[in-house]
Chain A
């Protein structure tokens, strides 16, 4: 199935490029292994280097659904796996009130699939035709209890719902987890996953990305923006701009139809610098100096 869309590593690189995502060989190899081995892939890297994008492009290449689970502090099983639709259940009970229905019957009815709200994890294992891509975004934000639960799901690709029984995936999803490294993940989770680290791209690769994403951009403008971003990344900022910011700034300048000089940089600085402290620091350093280097 997946062999048809991704016959080889080279094909994967090629396919993702046509979709505007520049994948280097090592990431392509990792994703190829993920598809072939059916193991989850943990992608780590700074914010805005294209971790989430990798999952999107994989789903697009495979022609399958992308199911996204955004993790946050306090994420619990109910919002990640399933929830009963309580209101609907109560209404159903109310409707049945007059009609002498067997209690057991009624119970089977209101705890049936009609009343089940699927959340991302359950949805990802109940696909029947194609394996979806499950993106577990920012797993480091969820707490450890949830991580342990996730481990169980990823190990067996099955979920037990007390009222319904165990649901096992007919088509196990391809799983990509991303992490910003806000906290150390458990050894058990790491052991189960393939791993890939995405660093900030080199000048050449970033140029490549800019061209793939914004085909209309001139080489000169692209080079200006990328080298500006590279010199920003060398400063000690609290929010280091990623590739996403490079693209934002490029788009902004294309819209303004301007080249990047001190004046336009000052006007568009909000695309790349996202905190007041950083802004002061950049101004102290001097925009013209940053642009010149």
Chain B
């Protein structure tokens, strides 16, 4: 490590640039680092490292990355990228997906080519809208995906907006209870000082979405994510998680300004996707980590899953019971329910049924738009 003050500053600036290339810190922070450096530079190398860390990091992940970077830049050879973050920006595929290598592979159904050879794909005009809303996501030909996407954005936004208005209205306080107000204010000689209300303020309604992104859900995952994104964009009170073998909080992802940004963010955290499903385990980790905050007497929990579970149903039942007890409504949307002749006989699904308030399909746009009707919160 250089010791001359001038060199030191230069080294810090260089380090900041390298840090930024790896996704640590943002625009203003080089100046902040230099400022911090001036304050601690007499206290030794360790203090400088600590100071830079305080300024540049803003999460546990950053914290861990910083250690690697610092070691690399200050003790190793010339800096290169440590994490793959921010490389190859904006290479979105034809229908607005994230980086080709990851997301597209996750979602585009490899069997899509078979679907393309379906005889009834060439439809146009008003009947197209009708047909697209009604066709099972898994069966929509690749050529129509872009159209479906535009349509779904429009329709989902409309519904989400209505739902968000319902969620907001609950913040109102009840009307003034005149009788109790007067009675209470006899204390003050009949002067109306304290108002009594008929209803206490209700807890805010919340929507919790739990999305299954495991292998078996593959054809549907993209659309269900889009559904979650549309809801989140219109209503702050929506929390969303994805799960397969473990649970990931994607609220931050859905806050992204555009769908493609959201997808890019998502592609950076694609651990544990696209494998078997542990619904019970995932719900357990949801209950433990977020249950206390998100489950209230005015929240609706929506699980989007086909119910294929690789574990024994005991833990699933257990966790569902907890959710059911702590929330107002438990909705399970199952894409398979759209298939003619489907019966929820998988072990997990049939064990889950007694705890579910609404069990509905989620295989096409039309069925997703029905959510509005199912919701009892607000």
Contact = CB atoms under 8 A, between A and B. Distances in A.
Interface string A72-114: 0110000000000011001100100000000000000000000
Interface in A29-46: 29-30, 32-33, 36-37, 39, 41-42, 44
A36 B193 CA distance: 48
A81 B46 CA distance: 39
B194 A195 contact: no
Interface string A46-60: 000000000000000
Interface in A159-183: 181-183
Contact of A29 (B35, B40, B191, B193): B40
B59 interface: yes
Nearest to B289: A182
Contact of B54 (A86, A94, A196): A196
B162 to A, nearest CB: 21
A281 interface: no
Given A37-B35, A238-B288, A94 B191 contact: yes
A25 B43 CA distance: 11
Interface residues of B, number: 34
Which of A26, A41, A42, A187 is packed against the most chain B CB atoms within 10 Å? A26
A41 B54 contact: yes
Given A9-B40, A144-B236, A184 B58 contact: no
Which of A29, A32, A73, A181 is packed against the most chain B CB atoms within 10 Å? A29
Which of B28, B36, B251, B290 is packed against the most chain A CB atoms within 10 Å? B36
Nearest to B194: A87
A195 B54 contact: yes
Contacts of A144: 236
Contacts of B118: none
A8 B252 CA distance: 38
A68 to B, nearest CB: 21
Contact of A42 (B53, B58, B293): B58
A191 to B, nearest CB: 6
A25 B293 contact: no
Interface residues of A, number: 39
B58 A193 contact: yes
Contacts of A143: 236
A149 interface: no
Contact of B47 (A9, A90, A184, A190): A9
Contacts of A203: none
Given A29-B54, A87-B194, A44 B36 contact: no
B40 A32 contact: yes
B252 A184 contact: yes
A9 B290 contact: no
Given A87-B193, A90-B193, A193-B58, A33 B293 contact: no
Contacts of B51: 29-30, 33
B35 to A, nearest CB: 6
Which of A9, A36, A87 is packed against the most chain B CB atoms within 10 Å? A9
A25 B46 contact: yes
Given A32-B40, A33-B40, A90 B191 contact: yes
Contacts of B58: 42, 187, 190-191, 193, 195
Given A87-B194, A190-B59, A74 B39 contact: no
A284 to B, nearest CB: 15
A41 B58 CA distance: 10
Contact of B28 (A32, A141, A191): A191
A99 to B, nearest CB: 17
Contact of B43 (A9, A30, A73, A74): A9
B55 to A, nearest CB: 6
B60 interface: yes
Interface in B56-99: 57-60, 62-63
B121 interface: no
A271 B166 CA distance: 44
B120 to A, nearest CB: 44
A75 to B, nearest CB: 12
B28 A197 contact: no
Interface string B33-53: 001100110010011001101
Contacts of A181: 60
A194 interface: yes
A75 B168 CA distance: 16
Nearest to B38: A36
A86 B193 contact: yes
Interface of A: 8-10, 25-26, 29-30, 32-33, 36-37, 39, 41-42, 44, 73-74, 86-87, 90-91, 94, 141, 143-145, 181-184, 187, 190-191, 193-197, 238
23 contacts: A8-B43, A10-B43, A29-B51, A33-B39, A33-B54, A39-B32, A44-B60, A73-B293, A86-B193, A87-B193, A90-B191, A141-B293, A184-B252, A187-B26, A190-B58, A191-B28, A195-B55, A195-B58, A195-B59, A195-B63, A196-B54, A197-B60, A197-B63
Given A33-B40, A37-B35, A90-B191, 9 more contacts: A32-B40, A87-B194, A91-B193, A182-B293, A190-B58, A195-B53, A195-B57, A195-B59, A197-B63
Q: List the 8 closest pairs (A to B, CB-CB), nearest first.
A: A29-B50, A190-B58, A26-B50, A30-B54, A184-B252, A194-B54, A197-B63, A195-B57
